[in-house]
Amino acid sequence: MIEMQDLWKTYKNGSDALRGINVKIDRNEFVYIVGPSGAGKSSFMKLIYREERPTKGHIFVNGFNLEKLKQRKIPYLRRVIGVIFQDFRLLPRLTVYENIAFAMEVIEAPKRQIRKRTLEVLEQVRLKDKADSLPSQLSGGEQQRVAIARAIVNSPAVIVADEPTGNLDPETSWGIMKLMEEINFRGTTIVMATHNRDIVNTMRKRVIAIEKGQIVRDEARGEYGYED
Ligand SMILES: Nc1ncnc2c1ncn2[C@@H]1O[C@H](COP(=O)(O)OP(=O)(O)O)[C@@H](O)[C@H]1O
Ligand SMILES: [Mg+2]
């Protein structure tokens, strides 16, 4: 599903974000990426959805060899990846329904299918009654559920979530995690960077710990395991 071979990322200013990452993530896994601030977690995620390109090494995502992927083919990669951010990143002038439908419009899905599928995912994230609200009229947890609906609406093979509960209170965070787990049960691979110790230690999954750009620990059903 995802494979990185001796992957390096050095930014233009010389900062070495990733230094020789080797990892394989299989279809249908749920993986937490943990590590201190500046460890390279976001860079790890950005290389997966091709927001950034590696300086060296190889990366494969759902059959795409990202080194060889031409600029004009990036939309095909983005169709199989759903991305979720800490700060939601919804379009403020579009309603909840429109925010989700928009993700299908950009891939030119048929109109009838857009309506059917958008309503389906609204139901899945339990926000049907908010379809016509604007993001600013929703709580943080609701906004993140819209972002999740948008991320899954095109049925991606993998969800990449960069600290999705980082701006949410504990109770709301658990609701988001239940949804993530449900999505994983339905067959989507999940890669999630997080600082949430309680979640990692309670909802046990594979844990990959990154420090200073290197993988220092990789455990099935692991623990958070370091002091913030
Ligand atoms: N766009 C960028 N330009 C230059 N340096 C960056 C950029 N993004 C991240 N870095 C640096 O790369 C390192 C890893 O950052 P990041 O991947 O954001 O880590 P994390 O998500 O674990 O906090 C840090 O030293 C950070 O300052
Ligand atoms: Mg980060």
Residue type, 212: K
Nearest Cα residue to atom 3 of ligand 1: 11
The Cα–Cα gap between 210 and 31 comes to 13
Residue 3, class by beta-carbon neighbours within 10 Å (0-12 exposed, 13-18 middle, 19+ buried)?
middle
- Give me the pLDDT at residue 121, please: 97
Ligand 2 center–CA 40 separation, angstroms: 7
Domain boundary assignment for the chain: 2-219
Instruction: Specify the CATH superfamily of domain 2-219.
Output: P-loop containing nucleotide triphosphate hydrolases (3.40.50.300)
Distance from Cα 41 to the centre of ligand 2, integer Å: 5
Q: Which of 33, 34, 43 to mutate to test the pocket of ligand 1 (most atoms within 8 A of CB)?
A: 43
Which tokens sit at 204? Answer: 């046990």
Q: Are 169 and 192 in contact (CB under 8 A)?
A: no
What is the full per-residue pLDDT of the chain (228 aa) written as tens digits?
999 999 999 999 999 999 999 999 999 999 999 999 999 999 999 999 999 999 999 999 999 999 899 999 998 999 999 999 999 999 999 999 999 999 999 999 999 999 999 999 999 999 999 999 999 999 999 999 999 999 999 999 999 999 999 999 999 999 999 999 999 999 999 999 999 999 999 999 999 999 999 999 999 999 999 888
Q: How many angstroms is it from 190 CA to the middle of ligand 1?
A: 22
Virtual torsion, Cα 38, 224, 199, 201, nearest 10 deg? 180
User: Could you count the other beta carbons within 10 Å of the beta carbon of residue 219?
Assistant: 13
Measured from the Cβ of residue 28, the count of other Cβ atoms closer than 10 Å reads: 15
Please list every protein residue whose CB sits less than 6 Å from any atom of ligand 1. 11, 13, 15, 17, 35, 37-43
Q: How far is the CA of 213 from the centre of ligand 2 (A)?
A: 12
Closest CA to ligand 1's atom 1: 11
Phi, psi of 181 (to 5 degrees): -65, -40
Give the per-residue pLDDT at 227.
83
The candidate with the shortest Cα–Cα distance to 83, out of 114, 45, 38, is 45
Q: What is the pTM of this model?
A: 0.96
What pLDDT is recorded for position 45? 98
Res 228: pLDDT:
83
Which atom, in ligand 1's list, is nearest to the CA of 52?
Answer: 1
> Residues 152, 154, 158, CA angle at the centre, nearest 5°?
55
User: Distance between CA atoms of 144 and 120, rounded to whole angstroms?
Assistant: 17
Please state, in angstroms and rounded to a whole number, the distance separating the CA atoms of residues 8 and 22. 10
